[in-house]
Amino acid sequence: MHIMEGFLPPAHALGWAAVSLPFLAWGLRSIGRDLQSHPERRMLLGVAAAFAFLLSALKLPSVTGSCSHPTGVGLGAALFGPAAMVPVGFVVLMFQALLMAHGGLTTLGANVFSMAIVGPFVSYGVLRAASALGFSRSPAVFLAACLGDLATYITTSIQLALAFPAAVGGFSVSFFKFAGIFALTQVPIAISEGLLTLLVVNAMVRF
Amino acid sequence: MNPPILELQTVAHVYPDGSKGLHDCSLTLQRGRRYALLGANGAGKTTVLQHLNGLLRPTAGQLRIDGQAFDYSRAGLTALRSRVGLVFQNPDRQLFSALVEEDVSFGPLNLGLDADEVRARVAAALDAVGLRGHARRAVHQLSFGQKKRVCIAGVLAMQPDVLLLDEPMAGLDAPMQTELAALLDQLAARGVTVLLSTHDIDFAFRWADDIHVMAGGRCIASGPALALCAQADVLHAAGQRPPAALALHAELVDLGVLPAGPAPRSVDALLDTLRAQKHSGVITA
Amino acid sequence: MNPPILELQTVAHVYPDGSKGLHDCSLTLQRGRRYALLGANGAGKTTVLQHLNGLLRPTAGQLRIDGQAFDYSRAGLTALRSRVGLVFQNPDRQLFSALVEEDVSFGPLNLGLDADEVRARVAAALDAVGLRGHARRAVHQLSFGQKKRVCIAGVLAMQPDVLLLDEPMAGLDAPMQTELAALLDQLAARGVTVLLSTHDIDFAFRWADDIHVMAGGRCIASGPALALCAQADVLHAAGQRPPAALALHAELVDLGVLPAGPAPRSVDALLDTLRAQKHSGVITA
Amino acid sequence: MLIESTAYASRWRDVAPSAKALFALAGVVAAWVARSPYALAALTAVLVLTALVGARVPLRAYAATVLPPLGFLLISCAAMLFGPDAQGDWRWSGAMLPVVVHTALRSLAMLAALSGLVLSTPMPGLLALMRRLRMPELLLDMMVLCYRMLFVLRQAWDEGVTAQSARLGYRGWRQAWRSTGLLAGQMAVQVWQRAAALQMAADARVCQGALRFLPVVYPQARRQCMVAALAGALLVALAVGDRL
């Protein structure tokens, strides 16, 4: 879920950018180390970012009209590790802002935090936990993608609630309002996302 | 005479970006014949094929099937696509599954057939293209020519009445082309109507019963291969030179080397005629 | 005689997955000539090209440049690749930048040239392929043929001595092929050695000075186009039939229709000869 | 992609991206500084008109571009104005109204500022600008590749969907899900193959690590930046004046 251009007050916009920046730097360093021994990783992450962007612009069969769901971020975290997904997610979000007016440059920091940091980390964590608990592949992948998506949406709701606490009740009331109203779109998207990721992974392992 | 199995009537097509794909394009396909759709790159060949399969919808004009105007309903499209199969040019863009037999089963499964029927059709289709032994192989291990045949099997498994192929000979070397042409002949002999697009007039002349000539988004001429290829002005308008076999035959008849008569369909056939000539020892000049 | 500019000496190549790319493959390229690398799909043509550019390293045998064994050092590779340019078959797998002139500038910048020199080379390369007016266009807005020419410009901007092209004619229609052949002729006339791979013997016979014939990962024969194409057994071993122009010419000489002498390079040239014959009115039989 | 094709067709396509970015930045700063709804509305109007009249962005393309973010704006504002209170009853809470109005107008102004930039500047220009602004090289390389491959992969995707449709792959929702999954899986595998092919092509052209390209020159850049700075200063002055 993207926060639109200009929606966050300056302090919040800059604050979230400051929070995301170290993660981005860390991701870039981790890729940079790999490049010495695997120069083709530069290309790989570029193509992977394009593929993630393409999937995110896809209209999923059941959620008509909905687009820009963060598809592929959870999958990418499983394949490349969550660190590499920060720069990839950054590129995808930047392109969504510049090519589709989804999200924005002033809110890029906040969106990167929810979609390129929290989402992939949760997906990755769920996947690790699920395999540690002995889940078979299909439910593990579905849960990882689905929960990664939900974590993103909850993070966004927190970000909005922090910026706009309710006049009465403050942060918590505001959070439940945002989370409640966006649940209408985000919960179906998270389920579709989980389903699609599952189908993709099942198709991939066959190759 | 039966109504044509498929027909485009004064079809126009404008792409969403405003570029014109077709305008005032009419052509008919009769049951069981072998057609070549001849034209330069950008003449609208692929657009025609996609109209015949219902993938595109005419901006003006209509598609007729068995003499009836086609209605583009959901059920109609399913029926049309199960009767009219389309093989695209690039195998890598139309093979989605890891294993050969899985890919071939894609169409029949979408038709909603039961598992036994699907299995039987897949086996028959792989038989037809000579890949029965490769059913369990991974698609990415196949050669280009084999992939092309898997694509054809994937469409044959839907048992279409009409088989459309977009530039099937592109990228194939000479022996593979010969093999594929033989396969298409077999299908035509079984009553399947075959239409393939090509920019190679020598191949069209050699293989097709009838040729539709495309230029600038229109079908500018149609007719039996021999009669059509004799019309130098039509070919010129489509940016084609006459087939080599025809041109050579005409010159050699003029020179009195060969007797007048129907031209051989290929340079190889012409060579055979010349060799026979040599042995008979008769030079008519 | 100068040493060959490039040479493969009994090169073998085994891919990491164990499949054999080349074995005992030897061939030489002399300065300023036009070569065709002729062979069926899977004969090892692409593998040869990748060896000549240092992208692959022989499992056995060696690559020689200007008569010296190549050492595969970092500096050596840079020098080799700046002298030997390789154009791949598929434009979508070799263009990195979305802007035409940016992509063409990639190679020269890697050579460490200064900005002005790079700019001049980019302009000259785009001029050579006839795309000067498209310098600021986006690659994805170009046609397939134009993209192919951008790929060639990207290599020309490095001003190589040798230009290698993998199946450059694939996917191009006849007028585009003629145009590209003319461009390659121009380059050859300027002293660039050109080697292109193809499975079309008629094209190879028409265009090339010399032909290397590949079959089963080996170069089974090399020689001037005319001499080589006369060897039916070699061609047969490579799965090729003789060029149509050559076969026809031989028959017509046998029949006494044409005087003995060098064969015309294409069916079109043969037709011209026959027409001239008709006007002169002399039938030698 | 509408923004993409509009940018290539824009009258200001060949204006230096630095100038357009400067003006957009001034718009963003002004929107952050301005306080009254009137000033924000005026700012939005100026920015929209600049894009429509100055850069000749077609109204239809402009509207289609800003529509999806407006949907987000609507839902978010609704969430702030309605919703369950401490007792769990859904009700209108007017106390948030001034905040909502200000936020909505500020968002519109910023959306207008950045839409003006992206609708008149093709991505290669923006990437070149980021390069000049010293964005990390690795990130830039990823963006350059991503941008180019977007079109390649989208074409492959569209062709795949067409081929599947021809075999009835999108006949119903079950088939549609299955086909989408198959296609996405097949293309995910291609990501590795394409990356390897690109690396090989880069090596053939003596790639030294990072991807380097010659920047496009904008001969009028200096003058254009001056004009943009002046216009931008006016926007900011308007906003500061509003605050005082």
Q: What would the pLDDT profile of B219-261 be if each residue is shown by its tens digit?
A: 999 999 999 999 999 999 998 989 999 999 999 999 888 898 8
The β-bridge partners of C162 are: C84, C193
Which of C143-152, C265-274, D197-206, D207-216 comes out lowest in average pLDDT? D207-216
Per the listing, tokens 């824009």 go with D10
Facing residue for D212 by CB, picked from C98, C106, C158: C106
C113 pLDDT exceeds 80?
Answer: yes
Mark yes or no for CB contact C96/D148 under 8 Å. yes
Using the Cβ of C107 and the Cβ atoms of chain D, whether some distance falls under 8 Å is answered with yes
| Interchain proximity D169–B110, CB inside 8 Å | yes
User: Which pLDDT belongs to residue B175?
Assistant: 83
Residue of B nearest to C275 (CA): B251
| Whether residue C232 sits in one domain with residue C198 | yes
For residue A66, name the pLDDT band (cuts at 50, 70, 90): very low
The string of DSSP letters for C40-60 reads: -TTSSHHHHHHHHTTSS--SE
Within-domain flag for A4: no
Dist CA C215 CA A111 (whole Å)? 56
pLDDT for C285 equals: 42
For residue C189, pLDDT over 80 is answered with yes
CA C125 to chain centre: 18
Contact between chains at A4 and D73 (C-beta distance less than 8 A): yes
Which position has the token pair 């109507």? B193
* Cβ pairs bridging B and D (under 8 Å): 57
- Domain assignment of residue C173, yes or no: yes
Judge whether C275 lies within some domain: yes
- Name the minimum distance, in Å, from the CA of A66 to any CA of chain D: 10
Is residue B281's pLDDT more than 70?
no
Taking an 8 Å cut-off on Cβ atoms, the answer to whether B86 and D166 are in contact is yes
Interchain pair A5, D142: CB under 8 A: no
Paired tokens of A181: 């109203």
Residue C116, in any domain of the structure: no
Mean pLDDT of chain D: 91
For chain C, the average pLDDT equals 92
Residue found under tokens 């986006």? C138
**Do residue B199 and residue B95 come from a single domain?**
yes
Task: For residues C278 and C167, state if they share a domain.
Answer: no
| Cα distances (Å, whole numbers) of residue B110 to B154, D171, D178 | 12, 7, 10
Query: What pLDDT is attached to residue C101?
Result: 94
- Separation between Cα atoms, residue D131 and residue D128, nearest integer Å: 5
Same domain? For C216 and C283 the reply is: no
B81 touches D: beta carbon within 8 Å = yes
**Long-range contacts of C231-235, Cβ-Cβ distance < 8 Å, separation of 24 or more:** C235/C201
| B105 pLDDT more than 90 | yes
Residue keyed to tokens 């496009």: D216
Averaged confidence pLDDT in chain A: 88
**Residue spans of beta strands (DSSP E) within chain C:** 6-14, 20-29, 34-38, 60-65, 68-69, 84-87, 162-165, 193-198, 210-215, 218-224
Which amino acid does the sequence have at C122? V
Checking if the pLDDT of A89 tops 90, the result is yes
Mean pLDDT of B145-159: 95
Classify residue C213: in a domain, yes or no.
Answer: yes
Chain A, nearest residue to B100 by Cα:
A207
- Domain of residue A20: give its range: 10-206
| Alpha-carbon B232 to chain mean position | 23
Q: What integer pLDDT is reported at residue A167 of this predicted model?
A: 77
Statement: residue A59 has pLDDT above 90? no
Chain A hits for B138, Cβ within 8 Å: 207
Mean pLDDT, residues C175-193 taken together: 92
Nearest CA in chain D to B105: D167
Q: What is the 3-state secondary structure (H, E, C) of chain B?
A: CCCCCEEEEEEEEECCCCCEEEEEEEEEECCCCEEEEECCCCCCHHHHHHHHCCCCCCCEEEEEECCEECCCCHHHHHHHHHHEEEECCCHHHCCCCCEHHHHHHHHHHHCCCCHHHHHHHHHHHHHHCCCHHHCCCEHHHCCHHHHHHHHHHHHHCCCCCEEEECCCCCCCCHHHHHHHHHHHHHHHHCCCEEEEEECCHHHHHHHCCEEEEEECCEEEEEEEHHHHHCCHHHHHHCCCCCCHHHHHHHHHHHCCCCCCCCCCCCHHHHHHHHHHHHHHCCCCC
Rounded distance, CA C119 to CA B135, Å?
54
Q: In which band, very low, low, confident or very high, does the pLDDT at C284 lie, cut at 50, 70 and 90?
A: very low
Residue A157 placed within a domain: yes
What CATH number does the domain containing A134 carry? Answer: 1.10.1760.20
For testing contact with chain D, the best of B96, B151, B155 (most D CBs within 10 A)? B96
Is residue C247 located within the same domain as residue C236? no
Answer whether B138 touches A (CB < 8 Å).
yes
Mean pLDDT of B146-166: 96
Interface of A with B (CB under 8 A): 203, 206-207
Q: How many CA atoms lie within 13 A of B32 on its CB side?
A: 5
Residue C121 placed within a domain? no
- Distance set, CA B124 to CA B104, C182, C262 (Å): 10, 48, 51
DSSP code at position C91:
G
D124-151 pLDDT, tens digit each: 999 999 999 999 999 999 999 999 999 9
CB contact under 8 A, B251 and C274: yes
| Residues of D whose CB is below 8 A from A91 | 139, 142-143, 146
Rounded to the nearest 5°, which phi and psi values hold at D16? Answer: -55, 130
Q: Please say whether the beta carbons of C206 and C237 come within 8 A.
A: no
Do B214 and B280 fall within a single domain? no
Residues C86 and C206 in one domain: yes
pLDDT tens for each residue of B8-62: 999 999 998 888 899 999 999 999 999 999 998 889 999 999 999 999 999 999 9
Nearest-CB residue to D214 (from C109, C138, C154): C109
> Is pLDDT above 90 for C8?
yes
Looking at the fold, whether B236 and B250 belong to one and the same domain comes out as: no
Question: Contacts of residue C119 in chain D, CB cutoff 8 Å?
Answer: 214
pLDDT of residue B197: 96
The token pair that represents C69 in the structure block: 């064994």
Could you report the predicted ipTM of this complex, rounded to two decimals? 0.93
The structural domain count of chain A equals: 1
CATH of the domain at C18: 3.40.50.300
Mean pLDDT of C130-159: 94
pLDDT above 90 for A27 = yes
| C78 contacts chain D (CB < 8 A) | yes
Number of Cα atoms under 13 Å in the Cβ half of residue A86: 22
Total number of domains constituting chain C: 2
Indicate if C194 and C254 belong to the same structural domain. Answer: no
C174/B251 CB distance under 8 A: no
In tens, the pLDDT along A140-197 reads 999 999 999 999 999 999 999 999 988 777 898 889 888 888 888 888 888 888 888 8
Q: Which residues of A touch D84 (CB under 8 A)?
A: 173, 176-177, 180
Q: Residue B155 pLDDT > 60, yes or no?
A: yes
Q: How confident is the model at residue C281 (pLDDT cuts 50, 70, 90)?
A: low
Distance CA A127, CA D9 (A): 46
pLDDT at D85: 61
Asked if the model's pLDDT at residue A69 lies above 80, the reply is: no
Rounded to an integer, what distance in angstroms lies between the CA atom of residue C9 and that of residue C214? Answer: 15
Farthest-apart Cα atoms in chain C, separation = 67
H or E element in which residue D235 lies:
helix D221-243
A152 to A16, A85, A103, A197, B243: CA distances (angstroms): 14, 14, 14, 16, 64
pLDDT value of position C2: 79
Cα→Cα distances A191→A146, D177, D186, D215, Å? 6, 13, 22, 44
Q: Which domain, by its residues, includes C247?
A: 243-285
- In A, minimum Cα distance to B96 occurs at A203
Interface subset of A 138-177, CB within 8 angstroms of D: 160, 164, 166-169, 173-174, 176-177
User: Rounded to an integer, what is the distance from CA A90 to the centroid of its chain?
Assistant: 10
pLDDT, tens digit (0-9, with 9 covering 90-100), for B106-144: 999 999 999 999 999 999 999 999 999 999 999 988 988
Token code pair at residue D122: 């093709």
What's the CA gap between A46 and A180, in Å, rounded? 36
Q: pLDDT at residue B218 above 60?
A: yes
Mean pLDDT of D172-178: 90
Can you read off the two tokens belonging to residue C2?
């100068």
Side-chain half-sphere CA neighbours of C149 within 13 A: 24
Q: Do D197 and C94 touch (CB under 8 A)?
A: yes
Q: What is the pLDDT of residues B48-82, one digit of tens each?
A: 999 999 999 999 999 999 999 999 999 999 999 99
What pLDDT digit, counting tens, does each position of D82-135 carry? 766 656 667 777 778 888 999 999 999 999 999 999 999 999 999 999 999 999
Residue B26 lies in a domain: yes
Residue C131 lies in a domain: no
Closest partner residue to D163 (CB to CB) among B17, B78, B93 is B93
- With CA atoms as reference, the chain C residue closest to D122 would be C138
Q: Is C227 exposed, middle or buried (0-12, 13-18, 19+ CB in 10 A)?
A: exposed
pLDDT at position C265 over 90: yes
What is the average pLDDT score of chain B? Answer: 92
Report the side by side order of strands in the sheet with B162-165: B84-87, B162-165, B193-198, B34-38, B210-215, B218-224
Reading the block at residue B204, the tokens are 């069209």
Q: How far is CA C84 from CA C5, C60, D209, D221, in A?
A: 10, 21, 20, 38
CA distance D209 to chain C (A): 9
Number of Cα atoms under 13 Å in the Cβ half of residue A40? 12
The alpha-helical segments, DSSP class H, found in D123-220 are 123-132, 137-166, 173-204
Minimal CA–CA distance to C158: which of C211, C190, C121? C121
Q: Within an 8 Å CB–CB cutoff, is residue B88 touching chain D?
A: yes
Chain C CB contacts of D191 under 8 Å are none
Residue A92 lies in a domain: yes
Q: Is the pLDDT of residue B285 over 50?
A: no
User: Which of the residue ranges C106-115, C223-232, D92-101 would you say has the lowest mean pLDDT?
Assistant: D92-101
Which of B173, B255, B270 lies closest to C257 in CB terms?
B255
- Asked whether residue B196 is domain-assigned, the answer is yes
Window 85-104 of B: residues touching A by CB (8 A cutoff) are 96-99
Kindly provide the b/e burial profile for residues D49-70, where b requires at least 16 CB atoms within 10 angstroms of the residue's own CB. Answer: ebbbebbebeeebbeebbebbb
A130 within some domain: yes
**For position A185, what pLDDT does the model report?**
80
Chains B and C form CB pairs within 8 A to the count of: 86
Please say whether the dihedral angle defined by the alpha carbons of residues A164, A168, A173 and A177, taken in this order, is positive or negative. negative
